[in-house]
Amino acid sequence: MIQLTVNGVEHSLDVEADTPLLWVVRDYLNLKGSKFGCGAGLCGACTMHLNGEPIRTCITPISTVAGQAITTIEGLGDQGSLSSVQQAWVELNVPQCGYCQSGQIMSATALLAKNAKPNDDDIDSAMSGNICRCGTYPRIKAAIHSVASSNATSNDDLFTNIMADQKPSVMEEK
């Protein structure tokens, strides 16, 4: 049995040790927001946070993260409200097909948690592991800048905002 904490919930799983974290989260925990794109850590569609750091979960055996804290796209925001990063994604109409966007948002969230005012080079370097086949890069960049400029000026405040966003909800079922 492998212990795992995902989005604050503890799980005990009977799963082979080499199973990638991605498939455990998708198929055993039924959290489908994180995506399979390449199986080789090349596209970033599977990005989750391990103790706040973005990792490629399609090549992360579950045994290597046992007992640790994982955050997925489902763990952002707070009870039906969008995180500030998600909010910016919606306001700027970032997604097209949308398949890569969970991974993009996880990478962007981790970047902004560490660097409240990233410049273009910072964004390029933090986000270049995430492929978007639809080509939404200009909007991803704009959305990250938009969060940076509208949010708190210090890293601490921003981190607080992202991790426990209290903004009003715009989430509606469509």
Partner 1 sequence: MTSLLNSPTKTSLNTSRRSFLKASALGSGGLMMTIAMPGCATLKNGGLSKIGNTERWDANAWLRIDSDNSIHFVLDRVEMGQNTYTGMATLVAEELEVDPESINVSFAAADSVYRNTVYGLQITGGSTSIVSSWEIVREAGAATRMMLIKAAANTWNISESDCIANKGVVINQAAGHPQNGQKISFGALAAIAATYSVPNDITLKDKADFKLIGKYNKRLDAVKKATGTAGYGIDTELPGMKYAVFSRAPRWDSELKSFDASKIENMPGIEQVFAVNKPSAIGVAIVAKSYWQAKKAQQLLSVEWGDSELTKVDNASIFAQYRKDMSQDSGKNVRSEGDIQAALSNAAQTVTTEYKMPFLAHATLEPQNCTAWATADGLEIWAPTQSPDMAQVAAAKASRYSLNDIKVNTTFIGGGFGRRINQDFVAEAAAIADHVQQPIKLIWSREEDTQRDWYRPSSLHKLTAAVDDSGNITGWNHQMAGSGVFDYFVGDAAPAQYPFMPKFMFGVLESAGKMGEGIIAPADGSIFEGANEIPYDFANINVDYKKSDSGILVGNWRSVGHSHTGFIVETFIEQLAQLPQVKAQKDAYQFRFDLLNKHPRAQAVLKKAAQEANWGTPLPGCTQGISIHKSFGTWVAQIADVEVDANASSDQQLKVKRVVCVVDCGQVVNPDTVVAQMEGGIIFALSAALYGDVTIKDGIAQQTNFHDYQLLRINQAPSIEVHIIESNEPPTGVGEPGVPPLAAAVANAVTAKTGQLFDSLPLKLG
Residues 104-123 that bind partner 1 (CB under 8 A): 105, 123
In terms of Cα–Cα distance, which of 164, 70, 61 is closest to 113?
164
If one asks whether residue 63 binds partner 1 (CB under 8 A), the answer comes out as no
In the complex, what is the shortest distance from the CB of residue 99 to partner 1, in angstroms, rounded to a whole number?
3
Q: Which of 7, 137, 159, 163 binds partner 1 (CB under 8 A)?
A: 137
Asked if 52 touches partner 1 (CB under 8 A), the answer is: no
Per CB under 8 A, 45 contacts partner 1: yes
Give the binding-site size for partner 1 (rule: CB under 8 A): 63
First to last CA, the chain: 39
**CB within 8 Å of 174: residues ≥ 6 apart:** none
Minimum distance from residue 152 beta carbon to partner 1 (Å): 21
The residue behind tokens 């925990």 is: 29
Residues 6+ apart with CB under 8 A from 135: 96
Would strands 69-71 and 53-56 be described as parallel, antiparallel, or unpaired? unpaired
Give the C-alpha separation, 104 to 92, whole Å: 14
| Residue ranges that bind partner 1, judged by CB under 8 A | 15-16, 18-20, 23, 27, 30-40, 42-43, 45, 72-74, 76-77, 82, 86, 89-90, 93-102, 105, 123-125, 127-141, 170-172, 174
